[in-house]
A and B are shown apart, each in its own frame.
Chain A
Amino acid sequence: MKSIQYEWKKLWKSKAYIALIVITMLIIAGLFYRNVVYQDIVKSEKIETVQSQSTWIVSYLSRDRELLKETGEGSNPDLEESIALGSQLNGKLQDLLAAIQEDEHITALHVENDVYALAMQYQTMSDNKSYPISKVEMEDEITLNNELLKKKLPKEDLGASIQPAVFMKQVVQYLFNTFGFFIVIVVIGTPIVREFDDNTIKLTYGLPVSPVRMIMTKWISITLSGICWFVIALLSAYAISTIFGTEETNPYDYPFFTEKMAFITAGDYLQQSIILGIFYLLLLMSLFVFLSFLIKNTLVVHITLLILFVCNYIVIRSGIIFPFLPWVYQELDAATLQSNGISWTGFLLMIVFTGVLLLLAIRASKRREYRR
Chain B
Amino acid sequence: MTKIAILELQHVNKKYKTAQVIDDVSLVIDEPGIWALVGPNGVGKTTLLNGICNIIPFNSGKVELLGQPNDNYTVFKHVSFLQDNTVLFHYLSGYDHLKYVCDVHGLPKKRIKEVAAYVGMTGYLEKKVGDYSLGMKQHLLLAISIVNQPKLLFMDEPLTGLDPSSAILVRKILLDLEKQGTTIILSSHNLAEIDRVTNQILFLKNGKIIEVDRENHMETHYIFKLSDKLSGKQLLMASGYSIQEENGAIKVTINESGIDKCIKSIQDNGISILDIQKEVTGSEKLYEETFGKRE
Contacts and interface: CB of A to CB of B under 8 A. Distances in A.
Contacts of A13: 89, 91-92, 96
Nearest to A214: B73
A6 B100 contact: yes
Contact of B73 (A10, A198, A210): A210
A206 B103 contact: no
Interface stretch (B51-59, B117-125, B230-238, B282-290): B51-59
B104 interface: yes
Given A206-B81, A369-B56, A200 B91 contact: no
A13 B128 CA distance: 10
Nearest to B99: A6
A34 interface: no
Contact of B87 (A9, A10, A199, A209): A199
Contacts of B92: 9-10, 13
A202 interface: yes
A344 interface: no
A203 interface: yes
B188 interface: no
A368 to B, nearest CB: 6
A226 B109 CA distance: 30
Contacts of B54: 205, 368
A198 B101 contact: no
A203 B83 contact: yes
A320 B122 CA distance: 61
A15 B128 CA distance: 14
Contact of A370 (B53, B56, B75, B103): B56
Nearest to A372: B16
Interface string A178-208: 0000000000000000000011101101111
Interface in A13-65: 13-15
A2 interface: yes
Contacts of B89: 10, 13, 200
A207 B101 contact: yes
Contacts of A370: 56
A2 B73 CA distance: 19
Nearest to A366: B71
B76 A208 contact: yes
Question: B74, B83, B100 — which one has the most chain A CB atoms within 10 A of its CB?
Answer: B100
Contacts of B91: 10, 13-15
Nearest to B77: A208
Interface in B3-60: 16, 50, 53-57
B50 to A, nearest CB: 8
Nearest to A2: B103
> Contact size class for A?
20 to 34
A217 to B, nearest CB: 10
Given A202-B87, A207-B104, A9 B16 contact: no
Contacts of A372: 16
Given A210-B73, A372-B16, A3 B88 contact: no
A2 B101 CA distance: 10
Given A368-B57, A369-B56, A209 B104 contact: yes
Nearest to B83: A202
B228 to A, nearest CB: 54
A18 B164 CA distance: 42
B165 interface: no
B86 A200 contact: yes
B96 A206 contact: no
> Contact size class for B?
20 to 34
Contact of A6 (B84, B88, B103): B103
B88 to A, nearest CB: 7
Nearest to A209: B104
Contacts of A15: 91
A209 B73 CA distance: 6
Nearest to B82: A206
Nearest to B103: A2
A15 B130 CA distance: 14
B103 A205 contact: no
Contact of B53 (A6, A199, A206, A209): A206
Contacts of B76: 206-208
Contacts of A206: 53, 55, 76, 80-81, 83, 87
B105 interface: yes
Contacts of A211: 73
B57 A3 contact: no
Contacts of B81: 206
B99 A199 contact: no
Question: A6, A14, A199, A206 — which one has the most chain B CB atoms within 10 A of its CB?
Answer: A206
A208 B65 CA distance: 13
A152 to B, nearest CB: 54
A208 B74 contact: yes
A208 B86 contact: no
B221 to A, nearest CB: 38
Question: A200, A205, A209, A367 — which one has the most chain B CB atoms within 10 A of its CB?
Answer: A205
A15 to B, nearest CB: 8
Given A2-B103, A6-B100, A369-B57, A203 B73 contact: no
Contacts of B80: 206
Given A3-B104, A6-B99, A10-B92, A368 B77 contact: no
Interface of B: 16, 50, 53-57, 71, 73-77, 80-81, 83-84, 86-89, 91-92, 96-97, 99-101, 103-105, 144
Closest 7 A-B residue pairs measured CB to CB?
Answer: A2-B103, A208-B76, A203-B87, A199-B86, A206-B81, A6-B100, A208-B77
Interface of A: 2-3, 6, 9-10, 13-15, 198-200, 202-203, 205-211, 366-370, 372
Given A3-B100, A368-B57, 10 more contacts: A6-B99, A6-B103, A10-B91, A13-B96, A14-B91, A15-B91, A200-B86, A205-B53, A207-B76, A368-B56
21 contacts: A3-B104, A6-B100, A6-B103, A10-B89, A13-B91, A13-B92, A15-B91, A199-B84, A202-B55, A203-B97, A205-B55, A206-B53, A206-B76, A206-B80, A207-B101, A208-B75, A210-B73, A211-B73, A368-B54, A368-B56, A369-B56
